[in-house]
Structure 1
């Protein structure tokens, strides 16, 4: 079945895909850039294999400073680059960036806070008006052993980030494991690099096994708790990792992965609330949780479970997307009269005005496309009381028996995905540059410019759309 939609939208998607493919690499191995954090007396020169979240030299002036190698963002960017090399959009030589990413990541193993302190007080010489943003000695001394993988981010020169941030975060190793598993499956890596990838993959799986039951800061780095996003990508990494370990002959570790993934799946089921999966469950009595949040949909996509609970075929995941659409239709003025709304993160979001995010709106498109691909491939689609509102949204009316015919349903899902990409097109400038956010009232771009994750989200959404034509 060919993708639906107008020729104009398809032509724009092809052009924008090429722009996104080019811009995705702006922050990859950006060894030609130098970041001066003068108030902190830091001079950062990226190493090969590092991935800066944004290559734009912000300093909250007003653009934020995203010149860091986030474990989460870098894994998602590398996964998108894998797709671009596999489909021929980027040259085969770009697989070298994946090789360098693996080697850069392996090089972080020995980082410790004690080594930073041995060189002197990191507060020494820092401007007095920013010294409160430097990590304490006690905080840094806690960075040892595998705790480095909960660091959230490092400097792209391979040194520890000495600034205060929300730590620990435990999604990065799981996402990197999933990216490595896909790279190994795709056959893009040379034999020696495959061995290095396997070594890094074992490190990541060991970290997930050791820390999956612990609370951590959630995907948006605001609140400590048990995060749906983190749990679902951990569950997927352990499931896929178990299969890989079995193939490698390590049935003992594979068994522990299966056991931990089952515990995570049970914990994920506990996130269900009336009408949607809650994003964040509090770590302690009296702590703050969060219900509706696009992080749930991003987690389902990034985990990529093929079927069952917490996949695109899960009626409760579909219900969550419908509830998010309802939320942002009423919350953002730019959505007035729009067939498919621009989506944000969560109701209380105020970061840079709490606008729509490209990755959130792209995620809605990708969800519909990947669900369409599943149905087109023969997966059973269940209509339940939970997902009835989602189905009505997709079909534009209450469903009759004939509407759940796979061909009709796939066509409707394709059209719904296209509606979300048409919304993205509306707020994309002629040069194709994608920032982090879209102002909720004016539609102007805001927050970080040239966000690598935004380009990665565009690439995976369009790839999901194109996959329909292959079924």
Structure 2
């Protein structure tokens, strides 16, 4: 489907209320009848030019002519119908199957006038049933979109608050606390996963941006170097998951969190968590690439980066240790998911980020002359690609969050996060934002959460939580989940804009039907969807501050305050929106 709608993908069963009027208008145009405009209460709506009705199947187009007979004071223009019949007459033209069903028989409806004086009788119930009542009902609601001024001011707030959680007072250099909350709940810890996501997707992004000033680049570089030193220390810290061991294989690299003074957290916890080493490797590989670029691959720059990746076996370097850990443990069943709740299964999010880390790591290994390791990392990543394919459930049309049937729905925002954080600098297979499987999963997530929370009543674009069966704090929408949904939509718009097309398949059609008609207007539909998710964040982020969750009924903020991941995700979403906005100019 081209963005200008010149060759739209049309399905007979995907027509909306507006579509029927467009086809009828085209019929009048082609037949030479006067231009028609639909008059709604106090508003005259002139529909734009559309492609010829011949793009529809013959049987269905003839059904539209029959509808026209019932909708108007007389039949559809005879010349047009005759012109159509001579070139597109179906073999079953006179069969009973082509008659309108009993529910479409004419009844006395309310009246609507055309501006040119022609009157039209509209049988609302019949028409809604013909074209899909559910679609029209979803289209009528106008969700609040975020204010442009708020979007920009929140960017500054998020930029400030996420940096305040990097090495705050009372912590070791390089520590990234998950939240400033120290009780009910206590998130005053350094989670390997959360820290890596924030440092990679925000700080490294700022560091490598050409728009960042030299002074700010220096500041971010110092923070990243402190983070490198911190991660080396905790890699070698004995903990309940194990120790560093030979070549980093002692199990300790899978420890999920540490105290803010770099000592081990020894209470009972869901451990190991194998997404942490992968996300950390991705962060440091990306930093290494940006660092080498900034200093033009100078001898001094290469010398520093070889401390991060030493090409030795066994290794003592922070990046290679993580890559070796991934390579030896990617198929380990006993590891917890990113929500620290599910074990004894492979997890989609974990595998996606492991795969990305190995691909990115192989590129760095090649640059530094470690071609044997690069080949091994690429081989493992190919193995993971095959494994990821098993997570697709064609019967339910979803990418499962866990390979095993852990929950009834097996829906989880972690699959979306896996796509976002497992895509790297290029769009790897299964990670492309236009994958039909991804959009089918998004459609199911959206529908599930729309009915899950009272707060979503009446919203076409609902707030998003972790998974439908969530019981933590009674299960609520999360800021980072709602933002991540918006981010993926913005990145999809960017992808479609850069490629010039949108692919709609039988797998993804249910997602795209929400933005009917399927034409160039899909861009504006997806844009408004993403903007409305930002509107939810604006509605419930008090003075720009975001706790972990907001109440499913009242919207009151709950759980840990100032969640670092929230602010990092807001910055990612902001940047994705900025990049995609060029392809949505016509939507504003």
TM score, norm. by length of structure 2: 0.66
1:95 alignment partner in structure 2: 221
| Structure-2 residue corresponding to 1:41 | none
Distance in 2 between residues matched to 1:374 and 1:302, nearest whole Å: 16
SS in 1 for 2:433: coil
1:12–1:196 CA distance, 2 compared to 1 (3 A): farther
How far apart in 2 are the matches of 1:197 and 1:422? 41
Could you tell me whether the CA contact under 8 Å between 2:242 and 2:252 is conserved in 1?
A: no
The alpha-carbon distance between structure 1 residues 379 and 167, as it changes in their structure 2 partners (threshold 3 A), is: farther
Q: CA deviation at 1:414?
A: 2.4
CA distance, structure 2, for counterparts of residue 409 and residue 364 of structure 1: 17
**Equivalent of 2:531 in 412, 418, 439:** 418
Query: Partner of 1:291 in structure 2?
Result: 410
SS of match in other structure, 1:377: helix
Q: Is the 8 A contact 1:21 1:84 kept in 2?
A: no
Partner residue of 2:375?
A: 255
- In 2, Cα distance between the equivalents of 1:236 and 1:392? 32
Q: Secondary structure at the match of 2:346?
A: strand
Structure 2 equivalent of residue 18 of structure 1: 156
Superposed CA offset, 1:250-297 (max 9, x none): 221111111111111111110111210110123xxx976861000000
Higher-Rg structure is: 2
Q: Residues of 1 paired with 2:290 and 2:458: CA distance?
A: 43
Alpha-carbon distance in 2 for matches of 1:280, 1:173:
19
1:68 lines up with 2:189 in the alignment? yes
Secondary structure at the aligned position of 2:234 is classed as coil
CA distance in 2, matches of 1:11, 1:391: 30
Contact 2:439/2:508 (<8 A) preserved: yes
Partners in 2 of 1:365 and 1:158 — Cα distance?
A: 35
Does 2:397 align with 1:301?
Answer: no
1:314 corresponds to which residue?
Answer: 435
Deviation at 1:141, TM superposition (A): 7.9
Partner of 1:468: 580
Identify the residue that residue 52 of structure 1 maps to in structure 2.
177
CA RMSD of aligned residues (A): 2.4
Query: How many residue pairs align between the two structures?
Result: 413
Partner of residue 253, structure 2:
149
Q: Tell me by how many angstroms 1:450 deviates.
A: 0.6
Which aligned pairs between 1:118-137 and structure 2 lie closer than 5 A? none
Shift of 1:463: 0.8
Aligned equivalent of 1:165: 269
**1:105 maps onto 2:231 in alignment:** yes
How big is the shift at 1:469? 4.7
Q: Which consecutive residues of structure 2, in runs of 5 or more, have no partner in the other structure?
A: 4-142, 296-300, 310-316, 584-588
Distance in 2 (alpha carbons) for counterparts of 1:321 and 1:288: 18
TM alignment of 1:70-85, pairs within 5 A? 70-79=191-200, 80-85=202-207
- Which residue of 276, 279, 285 maps to 2:401? 279
Matches of 1:7 and 1:388 in 2, distance apart?
Answer: 25
1:366–1:461 contact (8 Å) kept in structure 2: yes
Map of 1:127 onto structure 2:
none
CA shift, 1:7, in A, is 10
My pick for the range that moved more, 237-246 or 319-328, is: 237-246
DSSP-derived class of the 2:403 partner: strand
Name stretches of at least 5 consecutive residues in structure 1 with no aligned partner: 34-45, 114-139
Match among 533, 544, 560 for residue 448 of structure 1 = 560
Distance in 2 (CA, whole Å) between partners of 1:298 and 1:8 is 22
